[in-house]
Amino acid sequence: MQGYLEADLSEVSNWNIMDVNVRLGPSGIHGELALEKDALLVEMDRFGINTAVVSHFTAEEYDAREGNSALAGNRNVRLIPAWSALPDSSDVEALARRNPNVVKLCCASSKHNFSSASWCSGELLEYLQDKSILVLVSREDLQLGTPTGWDNLVALLSNFSRLPIVLLDLGYRSDRYLFPLLKRHTNLHFETSNYAAHRQLECYVEAFGSDRALFGSQLPLFTPGAALAVLISARISDEAKLAIAGGNLRRLLKVNPQ
Amino acid sequence: MKSPIPIIDCHGHIGVHPDFPAYKATVEEMLQVMDLLNIERLAITSTLACYNDCPRGNEQVAKVLDQYPSRFLGYITVNPDPPGQAVKQLEKHSHFHTPPLIKVHPTCHRYPIDGPNYLPVWDYANQTRAIVLVHTWDSDPLCGPLLLGPIAQSFPNARILLGHAGVTWRGYEQALKVAQGHPNTVLDIAGSHSHRTIIEHCVNKIGAERILFGSDMPFLEAALSLGRVLTSQISSLEKELILRSNFLRLISA
């Protein structure tokens, strides 16, 4: 719908945006917002999102293997699968057969209900680290609303210091935990969909540079228009915007910029 | 991203917050961001008042209004405790705006919005046709949107802004239910949950005339709400109502 108050997204049309936080498929919790592949691609087009790392709701809400099968059935050159990972040996073997570039840990008690600690997930995490596979894990899954959750993240970052980790859905109240960890753990990165306190993104870049923040939208639950507007209006360099919009994720995935 | 038209923003603050750092939150730094996004006027409440000390917080708002009368509107923030303080504050700062703009925060003040200590505030609002911004949150026993229905019914001259519109998708549905039943209620979209299609959903349910742009600046990033509205699939006329006309009409009546 065009009009005099249509958002001007022309600035982002050549940003080659790569979204690190997108979900696909039916949802038992968010049924009114869930999107199948074709509709998801249309919505990505509307916001100039070229490529997305995509997990499957069925994997998150029901069963990792079934969700991974559904994800495999929705292959598209613009969608990079984030496979759901479980800690058991047989699951690690099944995951390895998919030759993953990205995995998502859904370890919360309300999801797959396992610990990210070495005594539980050691074999899985060793495999992921050895293969330099990008690991996505959400605030909810690490229980970062509690100090114990942050301690669990510290253990993960310390014990697997070559494992690239991206925190998803990081809340805007996180900086008193996040900033000390960014200083200590170079393998820590975060996604920006809810990193939305007043001028927070600017202040992060001023303190740390732009290399650790990755653009994410939470499609289909959130509108990309919100996180995009935050990035567009941030008073940071064009280079920093391009890095956050997709350059950092391409670097982590060793993907050709084109 | 800059608004093509000047925005009148119904939900802002001055001050800092206890649980995360306040960045670039001086009034002058806020003005820079308001200019960047084209926010002409921001209605502010003091976070000191919301969290801790209403009398001192309202004095801070008074100073900002004196300094920048064309850029800010002032809410008088009131706490139901101690009893009697709220109406004294409303009378003391009645010069902020006519009709009065009142802010209540049941969560921070840990007192239910339908509790008896709020009755003098609702009486005052009813008599003065005040605009009352209420912090709301999905199903919250202190400030769930559904608690506002009976209040809107009992105090029909008060104009109630459902702050954050209940935040979650379910909270929005609760706020919409209240708005559908009570014409003296409107939704404020300030909040960190950027639900896809929620703006369109609200416009379909209650019409764009009952929806207000709120940023929650400098708590939240104002561009967040701006992006939600400008990229929503509603008409430009409806966006203009939300971004500017509705709040102007409300505070002028």
Contact B1 A7 (CB under 8 A): yes
Residue of A nearest to B193 (CA): A222
Give the predicted TM-score (pTM) of the model: 0.96
For B112, the enclosing helix (H) or strand (E) is none
Per-residue confidence (pLDDT) for residue B107, from 0 to 100:
96
Q: Which residues of chain A make contact with B4, given a CB cutoff of 8 A?
A: 4-5
pLDDT tier at A165, thresholds 50, 70, 90 = very high
Confidence check: pLDDT of A172 > 80 = yes
pLDDT tens profile B242-252: 999 999 999 99
- Collect all residues of chain A within an 8 Å Cβ-Cβ radius of residue B232: 223, 225
- B195–A32 CB contact, under 8 Å: no
Per residue in A211-229, pLDDT tens? 999 999 999 999 999 999 9
Question: Which range, of A137-146, A245-254, B43-52, B200-209, averages the lowest pLDDT?
Answer: A137-146
Which of B2, B195, B237 faces A221 most closely, judged by CB atoms? B195
Number of CB pairs < 8 Å for A and B?
Answer: 140
Report, as an integer, the average pLDDT of A174-183: 96
- Residues in chain A, total: 258
Q: What is the pLDDT of residues B155-176, one digit of tens each?
A: 999 999 999 999 999 999 999 9
What are the φ/ψ torsions at residue A3 (nearest 5 degrees)? 175, 180
**Domain membership flag for residue B1:** no
CA distance B183 to A150: 46
Q: What's the pLDDT at A249?
A: 98
pLDDT band at A257 (very low <50, low <70, confident <90, very high): low
Question: Scanning every residue of chain B, which has its alpha carbon at the shortest distance from the alpha carbon of A220?
Answer: B196
Identify the DSSP state of B19: S
User: What mean pLDDT, rounded, does chain A reach?
Assistant: 95
Inter-chain residue contact A227 with B22, CB threshold 8 Å: no
Please tell me which of the candidates A194, A199, A233 has its beta carbon nearest to residue B24.
Answer: A199
Nearest to A59 by CA among A141, A167, A165, A145: A141
Report d(CA B67, CA A85) in Å as an integer: 57
Q: Does the beta-carbon distance from A223 to B33 stay under 8 Å?
A: no
* Contact by Cβ (8 Å): B166, B192: no
pLDDT score recorded for residue A210: 98
Q: Is the pLDDT of residue A256 over 80?
A: no
How far is A249 from chain B, CA to nearest CA, in Å?
22
DSSP B195: B
User: What kind of fold does domain A10-253 have according to CATH?
Assistant: TIM Barrel (3.20.20)
Are B223 and A6 an interchain contact pair (Cβ–Cβ within 8 Å)? no
CB within 8 Å: B24 and A230: no
> Could you tell me whether strands B72-74 and B39-46 are parallel, antiparallel, or unpaired per DSSP bridges?
parallel
Whether A199 and B19 lie within 8 Å, measured CB to CB = no
Polymer length of chain B: 253
Task: Express each pLDDT in B173-225 by its tens digit.
Answer: 999 999 999 999 999 999 999 999 999 999 999 999 999 999 999 999 999 99
Which of B4, B218, B227 shows the shortest C-beta gap to A228? B227
Distance CA B29, CA A61 (A): 43
pLDDT confidence bin for A258, thresholds 50/70/90: low
List Cβ neighbours of B158 (8 Å cut-off, separation of 6 or more).
B122, B125, B126, B129, B130, B132, B151, B152, B184
In a domain, B50, yes or no: yes
Question: Testing the interface with A: which of B32, B192, B229 to mutate, by most A Cβ within 10 A?
Answer: B192
pLDDT of residue A11: 86
In degrees, rounded to 5, the angle at the alpha carbon of residue B210 between the alpha carbons of residues B207 and B215 is 120
Q: Choose the mutation target among B196, B237, B245 for the interface with A, i.e. most A CBs under 10 Å.
A: B196
**B9 half-sphere exposure, CB direction, 13 A CA radius:** 36
Tell whether B2 is covered by a domain.
no
The minimal CB distance from B36 to the residues A173, A228, A233 is found for A233
B142 falls within a domain: yes
Domain tally, chain B: 1
pLDDT over 70 (residue B28) = yes
CB B37 within 8 A of CB B6: no
Phi, psi of A212 (to 5 degrees): -110, -5
In chain B, which residue's Cα lies nearest the Cα of A3?
Answer: B236
Residue A127 has pLDDT above 80, yes or no: yes
> Above pLDDT 90, what percent of chain A?
90
User: What residue in A sits closest to B217 (Cα-Cα)?
Assistant: A198
B81-114 pLDDT, tens digit each: 999 999 999 999 999 999 999 999 999 999 999 9
Measured distance between the N- and C-terminal CA atoms of chain A, rounded to whole angstroms: 30
| pLDDT on residue B228 | 98
What string of DSSP letters covers A154-222? HHHHHHTTTS-EEEES--TT-HHHHHHHHHH-TTEEEE-TT--BTTHHHHHHHHH-STTEE----BTTB
- Distance from C-alpha of A87 to C-alpha of A90, rounded to nearest angstrom: 8
How far apart CA A256 and CA A11 sit, in angstroms, is: 22
State the CATH number of the domain containing residue B132: 3.20.20.140
What are the phi and psi torsion angles at B70 (to 5°)? -90, -10
Chain A residues within 8 A of B38 when measuring between CB atoms: none
Which of chain A's residues have a Cβ under 8 Å away from the Cβ of B22?
198
pLDDT at B125: 98
Question: Is B152 a residue whose pLDDT tops 80?
Answer: yes
Phi, psi of A104 (to 5 degrees): -125, 130
Which residues, 6 or more positions from B103, have their beta carbon under 8 angstroms from its beta carbon? B45, B49, B50, B75, B76, B77, B78, B132, B133
The pLDDT of residue A2 is 60
- Rounded Cα gap, residues A46 and A49, in angstroms: 8
Q: What separation, in Å, do the N-terminal and C-terminal C-alpha atoms of chain B show?
A: 31
What range does the domain containing B22 cover?
7-252
Which residues from chain B sit within 8 angstroms of residue A227, using beta carbons?
194, 224, 227
